[in-house]
Structure 1
Amino acid sequence: QKALNIYKLRRPIIIENLNNLNVCFCSTNNLFQQQTSSKTLINWTSDPRVPNFGYRSLIENEGENCLEFNQNLEKEYISRRYNWGIGEGMEIIDQIPLAMNGDLLNGISFDKELISRTYHSGIVRRRLMPFKWLFNDSNKMPEDLTLKDEKGQRQGKLITSNGKFGLCLISVGLIPENIFIRLFDSNGRALEVWRPNWWPKT
């Protein structure tokens, strides 16, 4: 709140800390209606990043019940994000915005010189893609994040994982549309990578 107040610049804007409100996510309209039926719904809207990805709602905080409500939705939200190939927050903070699909998610301001030049004249050779582990014991990320193909050639790297699904940075030319490609981490564990179906068709 203090940081935001610095940028008011004498504008007639009021910035308040609303601890009594929570932002929640639901993947479908039916689930959204079920989950918020017992809550005080303030407002809701479709997620602006990808069509049909889900809904964001603003509800009143109801103590422990709302905490459990948020935790359940957070697990669903993370799994859905990974399955759709959408990164956010600390997962991608040190990555190149274009490689993290920022241009496809309406998340980049192209008035910045470096990003604009890369977007209009360069080639994005690697992009963030979803993957699924092909074995059960996948809770720990390896220290070496390198991903290789069956010939042992490096094709990308792991970004994050929740134990079943995850995100990786992969060479775009390696993954055709509607095809699952098998890769291996540094411990030899197999995973399948695919292009998100919301990407523009080539």
Structure 2
Amino acid sequence: MVTKLKSRVAVQKCVGFDRNAPGGTTTTWLTPKTLVDVLGPFDLDPCVPPQMPWRTATRMLTVKEDGLATPWPRSAFVFHNPPYGKGQVAWMQKAAEHGNGVTLVLARFDTRWMHDWVLNHPATTALVFVKGRVQFCRPDGSPGPSSPAPSIFIGYGKKASKRLERAVRSGAISGAFFAVDRLALVARNHSVAANDECYRLPLGAG
């Protein structure tokens, strides 16, 4: 148990990129406050790094609280930017099984967690493919380099789908919004192009 907990804590310290940007030394990258604000408010953020310059949710769990071991209240609307890379599958499983929140991750479509806990999970209600690269922030809040890979927002539950669609429609998030239930209907009926079910807005930066 002690070994597993130490391993979990070590993984949890890595938030953001799954590898350092060129010349970078930190493994902790924060979601820009503007992105959190436009999708919020949130009740819970279960994976907050030790140093966090802004609030992401009413309740914020750091490494000490261990967001994987701590139960997430069923009613809690969760913001979830989990540690990337090794150990990420456990975070994705918990978010999918919770089924009420928004997750921001790199768009890794070849991974097991993407297929098991996003693309083929019944709690997934929406996907937003971000146009350009998200510019994550350093632990002190200052802007860092752009992400080394594209990002995707995953909506679990009806509230998350509505928040993500609103953000894309308003231009607060630049990218393409896909409602999973409508895409499934298109796939079954073959009546309209799947592209008709997405909303594209111009990129503001990135």
Question: Which structure is richer in relative contact order (CA contacts within 8 A, separation 6 or more)?
Answer: 2
Higher strand share: 1
Larger CA Rg, structure 1 vs 2:
1
Higher helix share: 2
Q: TM-score when scaled to structure 1?
A: 0.28
Q: TM-score when scaled to structure 2?
A: 0.28
